[in-house]
Chain A
Amino acid sequence: MEMNDKKLQVSAIKDGTVIDHIPASNLFKVINILNLNKVETQMTFGSNFGSKKLGSKAIIKLSDVFFADNDINKIALVAPEAKLNIIRDYKVVEKKIVEVPESIKGIAKCMNPKCITNHEGIVTKFTVVSKKDVAIKCHYCEKITDAEHMEIL
């Protein structure tokens, strides 16, 4: 019983959001993008769990935190397979998948070393030209950055 209590505190939440299927290597990028360092309610995260799909995955559980679709879609660049479970009274009441947005502000770095965004303090802006293998086109230099060269700020 005591064990159960402890387990309950660490792994289950009453109300909130569970973000699952984050690639283990990108856990901290997800934390940064969603500004989770500012969260004041209980948060647990774990990494390097086995995953058939991802090889190694991470998971984040947030008490009393709920995201707008616009906000959560920002993590699509680093965790395209991520799944969200919305928890109410210990039960999953809704499941969501992230969707790559049409445009991206900030978050990613333009891979073109000659782009103005890499020379002056400018917030990057991109339009998404491919959602499957994510590729983004810079609003300024018009060059395409593909998933392989994508660097998250």
Chain B
Amino acid sequence: MENKNLISITDYTKEEIFKILDLAEDFEKNPNQNLLNNKVVATLFFEPSTRTRLSFESAISRLGGKYIGFTDASSSSVSKGESVKDTIMTVANYSDLIVMRHPIEGSARWASEVSRVPIVNAGDGANQHPTQTMLDLYSIRKTQGTLDNLNICFVGDLKYGRTVHSLLQAMAMFNTTYNFVSPKELRIPDEYKLYLDKKGLEYQEHRELDEVIKSADIIYMTRIQRERFSDPMEYEKTKNAYVLKNDMLEETKENMKVLHPLPRVNEIDTNVDENTKAYYFTQALNGVYTRQAIITYILGLK
């Protein structure tokens, strides 16, 4: 059995990503498969994330596995000052695979170096959230029939949004055209522009959410958080400038789908939900299939 982890989306080749997406497709057709019989998965949430945790626990349950863990650090030995290394080395004794979410960046990579069982990163601070990226890729391929040569429009907090950064990196393998729509304070960091420059990919930055969405195959919306602004006035001024409304979708492409990593606050009007171009709730469902695929792939069960 290969001791493989999922720490950063860039650790995986195109072939491995396709393999996982194909497995996820299989789980979508047949979600209840007893592949994790007699296996124990640890879900260690050093910071709370209800959505991601439930998605993982649903995936494990549908595979017939058991899970153990904690839902935030205050209810574990971490609150007594235990190091990541000690927690991981201990829990590795009780489980066959560890899913972890931790606020400190690089903690998952470090865990993978001290653990004798595989680690799946469920988010390490502002760094990586590769299972989200995998489900985004699955949703894009499913709705567009391909990952190649697409036009993706990212909207909102492009500075701190790790889902944006990881998806952008993953999509760079597929000759993607990028449009970035954000307030000045939250524009895409230079290191990611440099990344796209090096790959010779096209991108444009925009301040306004308008014409640019007409050419998009995917609109990837993100939440703009109040705490990202040093000046609360700036937040008040910008928060309504990046809201997607139903009438704006009229002139968008037929195949276009709206994605959002959720939770949403007000950046997508609720009347968009009924539009056939809204895909974010199905996207969340796809997260369960994708996580089933990741767990079984890593454990060598598929």
Interface size on B, residues (CB 8 A): 17
The segment from B53-61, B124-132, B272-280 found at the interface with A is B124-132
| Contact of B125 (CB < 8 Å), options: A114, A120, A144 | A114
The segment from B104-112, B172-180, B223-231, B238-246 found at the interface with A is B104-112
Separation of A112 and B191 alpha carbons in the complex (Å): 15
Given A114-B125, A114-B126, A122-B110, answer yes or no on A140-B105 (Cβ-Cβ < 8 Å). yes
Q: Is A142 in contact with B127, judged by CB distance below 8 angstroms?
A: yes
Separation of A116 and B113 alpha carbons in the complex (Å): 13
Q: Is A115 in contact with B191, judged by CB distance below 8 angstroms?
A: no
Residues of A within 8 A of B84 (CB): 116, 120
Per-residue A-contact encoding for B83-114, CB less than 8 Å = 1, 0 else: 11100000000000000000111110110000
Main DSSP-derived SS at the A contact region: loop
A125 to chain B, nearest CB (A): 9
Q: In this assembly, does A143 line the interface, its C-beta being within 8 Å of a C-beta of chain B? A: yes
Q: Is B105 in contact with A115, judged by CB distance below 8 angstroms?
A: yes
Given A141-B127, A142-B8, A142-B128, answer yes or no on A116-B191 (Cβ-Cβ < 8 Å). no
Residues of B within 8 A of A140 (CB): 105-107, 109-110
Separation of A120 and B109 alpha carbons in the complex (Å): 13
Per-residue B-contact encoding for A99-120, CB less than 8 Å = 1, 0 else: 0000000000000101111011
Separation of A114 and B128 alpha carbons in the complex (Å): 13
Q: In this assembly, does A139 line the interface, its C-beta being within 8 Å of a C-beta of chain B? A: yes
Separation of A12 and B126 alpha carbons in the complex (Å): 54
| Contact of A114 (CB < 8 Å), options: B8, B105, B191 | B105
Max chain A Cβ within 10 angstroms of own Cβ: one of B8, B84, B110, B125: B110
Q: In this assembly, does A138 line the interface, its C-beta being within 8 Å of a C-beta of chain B? A: yes
| Contact of A116 (CB < 8 Å), options: B8, B110, B126 | B110
Max chain B Cβ within 10 angstroms of own Cβ: one of A116, A141, A144: A116
Separation of A138 and B105 alpha carbons in the complex (Å): 10
Residues of A within 8 A of B125 (CB): 114, 141
Q: Is A120 in contact with B105, judged by CB distance below 8 angstroms?
A: no
Question: Of all chain A residues, which has the CB nearest B191?
Answer: A144
Q: Is B109 in contact with A119, judged by CB distance below 8 angstroms?
A: no
Residues of B within 8 A of A112 (CB): 105
B residues in contact (CB < 8 Å) with A: 8, 83-85, 103-107, 109-110, 124-128, 191
Q: List 15 A-B contacts (CB under 8 A).
A: A114-B103, A114-B126, A115-B105, A116-B104, A116-B106, A116-B110, A120-B110, A139-B106, A141-B125, A141-B127, A142-B106, A142-B127, A142-B128, A143-B105, A144-B191
In the A-B complex, the 7 residue pairs with the smallest Cβ-Cβ separation, listed nearest first, are: A140-B106, A141-B105, A141-B106, A116-B106, A116-B107, A140-B109, A116-B110
